[in-house]
Amino acid sequence: MRLEGGCACGAVRYKLNAAPLIVHACHCTDCQCITGSAFAVNIWIEREFVESVGIRPKSFILRKGSGRDHEVFFCAACGTYVWSRYGRVPGDTLFVRAGTLDKPRAVKPDVHIFTRSKAPWLELPADTPTFKAFYPMDKIWPATSLERLRGNIAKARTASASRKRSAR
């Protein structure tokens, strides 16, 4: 599965060169605010597998609900939010908005999270796990995804250690 997408005006384009680690439907108030909607569908994936092929998205740091270092990336021309990066998440990964895929129906949420702020009129599917806040990843993620994330965290640690060494 190779997913591609982009912003509303087409200036930002990207390819996902791996399958998602996991797909979240996130009902947190940050996701509601930046999408202007009831929830966001976020593809969690290693940054190295997000190939940005159009103009580089701009970003700002959102300091609302999640509190620290939530960097939100958007197209400077049309303002479409394309992905986020969370400072508190270990490793080097992005949360790509599935609504910006050329074929958004190619993915389906594996889990609904932060349902404590879910829109009250929204009924969630009974066959998908739901959590009031975050969740135990080892209970929900496939083993291959856990393995990929562990590898990504190790790689990010090595990279930041070598950056520190060369800065000396």
The stretch near Zn ion (CB under 5 A) out of 4-12, 126-134, 146-154, 159-167 is 4-12
**With CB under 5 A as the contact rule, which of the stretches 51-59, 78-86, 138-146, 153-161 interacts with Zn ion?**
78-86
Is 89 or 155 the residue whose CB approaches Zn ion more closely?
89
| Phi-psi sector, 14: left (phi>0), alpha (psi -120 to 50), beta | beta
Residue 111 binds Zn ion (CB under 5 A) = no
CB of 8 to Zn ion, least distance (A): 6
Establish if 7 lies at the interface with Zn ion (CB under 5 A). yes
- Quote the DSSP letter at residue 105: G
Tally the residues of the chain.
168
Q: How far apart are the C-alpha atoms of 15 and 80, rounded to whole Å?
A: 16
CA pair distance 83, 131, nearest whole angstrom? 22
The contact mask relative to Zn ion for 14-53 (x = CB under 5 A, - = no) is ------------x-x--x----------------------
Q: Count Cα neighbours of 18 within 13 Å in the Cβ-side half-sphere.
A: 18
Q: Is 140 in the site for Zn ion (CB under 5 A)?
A: no
Q: Between 136 and 165, name the residue whose CB sits nearer to Zn ion.
A: 136
- CA 32-36-41 angle, to 5 degrees, is 55
What is the contact surface with Zn ion in residues (CB under 5 A)?
Answer: 7, 9, 11, 26, 28, 31, 75, 77-78
